[in-house]
Amino acid sequence: MSTRFFYEGTGFLKNIELITITSIEQLNQFRDDWSFILEENENTNPFIEFDWIYAWWKHLGNNKNVEIIAVLNNGEIIAFFPFLYENKGWLYKYNFIGFGYANYMDFISYKHSLEYVIALVLDFIIVERKSVVFYLHGLLESGFSIRRLEGYIRNREMTYSTHRVITPFIDLEKISKEEYLKKRKKLHRVDKNEKRMRESGVVEVLPTGPEHMETIFNLHHKRWKKKRDTSGFTNKKERKFYQSLAQLQEGPLTTEIDGLFMDGKMIAFKYGYKCRGRYVGYVISFEDDFKVFSPGRILEKDKILQCSKRGINIVDFSIGYEPYKFEWNTDIDYTRKIIFSSKSLTAQLLRLYLSLKELFISRIKLNRRLVLFKRNKIGKFLYVIKNILSKTEKAGVREEIAAFIHPKLNKLFEWKRYTIYEIASKNVPEDLEKDKYVELTIREAINNYDSVKEHMRDICTKIYGGYKGYYLPGHLSFENVFWTNEKVIRIDNIGYLRVFKKSSVHIENWRTENLAEICSYVKKISKANKIFISVKANLNKEISELEKIGFTIHQQIFKRTILGFSKAIFTNEKNSA
């Protein structure tokens, strides 16, 4: 249903007509007019393109009070004002469409008439609604509209507040690509991490489409299920919305989804929009299991190179203070939220409340510690409360409860003793079965994902850290893998780290029943002169087996913690490592 209002204009605007669009079917009749204005303006804001607005209304706005006001001059469309409103009795609050989803928003208008139509439409709403607050988000400071809107507010002598959020971006026309990437590769060790990843398997960055959306949602949910995810990216309604947008592959607005694959498994994705000469990143996520390789940075670097080759001028990281955005940006813009109202008392009180609320929220967002506390600590707490009785999340809940309680108890009192044993490789008994064990690679782990998925992060971390894992063919599970390291002795439980000075190897995760054959196998595959093994000092059976093979004590380590104060004592250290 639509409402029409007529005005006698002045100057070049005459016979003005306002049409209020309140149904998606009616909006579809104006597709060409809407798109023509944006084409004339060379628009690069993806969130005001017709296809984005239409998809939002179809999937997320069908139960909302959408009110798009079209402005006609002598029968020709010259502007659209995409609003939605809430009301309590006679008090109205107007937002832009897409609030909470569209990072940027704007009026759709020819630039030469924008100043006039802003005054015309906002005056019309105030006259009709009487008591109204405008709460308009997503207006870029570098854009054309914010100055015209502020001019209108000042001319009407309204009280208002503006709230800005930083908007980092890369201006590819201003930079030398080689110099730009050289600095950031060194800063973030991107090359080193990518090299290690490629040594571990086949790594590809590939464009993906709607067919991968289920994988993308699952990956994002897995990463964020224990955190506070304010994006709503994987909610049921939102899934349909983002799947719908993923279909946009032609025209001024296209959705671009890039996946980082390792041996065929997607371990990171980036979901964004290209609008003419601008790419806007919207969601980036990755498998936490592979975090040690920095998959997000690798994908980000590749996307920047893609944009450079395709003639895209602006790579926009969108709004927010996330540190990774400032690792890549060359410039910053600011995105405004502006709050103003009519002069009725109720409207001014609501405007004051919204302004104070926005000020409070913006202060919190500037405090990185508070943001991380809310996202991680409160997120984990809510995850535990929500899933305390869930059978599918039982292991995850137990893990979070243990991770919270154990460190607290250990700070009160903890007493740990480890003994490091050594043996000369020449004294290790020979085993005739030369190729008894198989080396574990990330590729093998991915191919046998169901067997190791609970420990995939540990596997990636160890391989990245220089460990090599071995297992018996046909018996792949994390518990059956023993690990060797020819660079260091590391005992994470007590924070112990020692770098080898001579040719040596340290063995972890061994079992008593196959220790002798493990040592024999390590002797064959390693050039180390000495083999080291660490064991808890109270494990008598394991110690007995070590001594039976011929191991002798290299060093004893005692760590004591009382009321948060820790002290480590080292004894019997031999200078042979």
> Does residue 469 lie within any of the structural domains?
yes
Looking at the 3D structure of the chain, how many domains does it have?
Answer: 3
Domain co-membership, 423 together with 526: yes
- Using left for φ > 0, alpha for ψ between -120 and 50, and beta otherwise, residue 509 falls in left
What is the per-residue pLDDT for 184? 77
* E strands in 494-537: 496-499, 504-508, 530-536
**CB-neighbour burial class of residue 307 (10 A; exposed 0-12, middle 13-18, buried 19+):** buried
Contact 84, 67 (CB under 8 A): yes
Contact 351, 339 (CB under 8 A): yes
Domain co-membership, 154 together with 219: no
Residue that terminates a domain, selected from 277, 312, 347? 312
CATH number of the domain bearing residue 554 = 3.40.630
Domain co-membership, 127 together with 188: no
Low-confidence ranges of the chain (pLDDT < 70): 1-14, 186-188, 432-435, 572-577
Domain co-membership, 420 together with 562: yes
What is the per-residue pLDDT for 166? 95
Domain co-membership, 109 together with 205: no
> Does residue 397 lie within any of the structural domains?
no
Nearest Cα to 526, choosing from 575, 470, 573? Answer: 470
CATH number of the domain bearing residue 42 = 3.40.630.30
Reported as a single tens digit per residue, the pLDDT across 495-528 is: 889 999 889 999 999 988 889 999 999 998 888 9
Domain co-membership, 445 together with 547: yes
DSSP state of 468: E
> Does residue 327 lie within any of the structural domains?
no
Domain co-membership, 151 together with 180: no
Q: What type of residue is 426?
A: K
Q: How many CB atoms lie within 10 A of CB 322?
A: 14
> Does residue 372 lie within any of the structural domains?
no
DSSP state of 538: T
Separation between Cα atoms, residue 529 and residue 526, nearest integer Å:
9
> Does residue 551 lie within any of the structural domains?
yes
Contact 507, 532 (CB under 8 A): yes
Q: What is the CA radius of gyration of the chain?
A: 31
Domain co-membership, 155 together with 196: no
* Enclosing H/E stretch for 406: helix 394-412
What is the per-residue pLDDT for 371? 86
Domain co-membership, 133 together with 20: yes
> Does residue 233 lie within any of the structural domains?
yes
Domain co-membership, 288 together with 223: yes
pTM of the predicted model as reported, rounded to 2 decimal places: 0.89
Handedness of CA 12, 17, 23, 28 (dihedral sign): negative
Nearest Cα to 523, choosing from 442, 423, 388, 400? Answer: 423
Q: Which domain holds residue 534?
A: 411-571
Write phi, then psi, for 157 (nearest 5 degrees): 55, 45
Strand partners, 208: 257
> Does residue 322 lie within any of the structural domains?
no
Separation between Cα atoms, residue 534 and residue 521, nearest integer Å:
18
Separation between Cα atoms, residue 343 and residue 487, nearest integer Å:
73
Domain co-membership, 196 together with 300: yes
Domain co-membership, 478 together with 521: yes
> Does residue 516 lie within any of the structural domains?
yes
Residue reference for tokens 């895209």: 312
What is the per-residue pLDDT for 4? 54
Separation between Cα atoms, residue 538 and residue 532, nearest integer Å:
18
Residue 160 structure tokens: 């208002």
Reported as a single tens digit per residue, the pLDDT across 214-270 is: 999 999 999 999 888 778 899 989 999 999 999 999 999 999 999 999 999 999 999
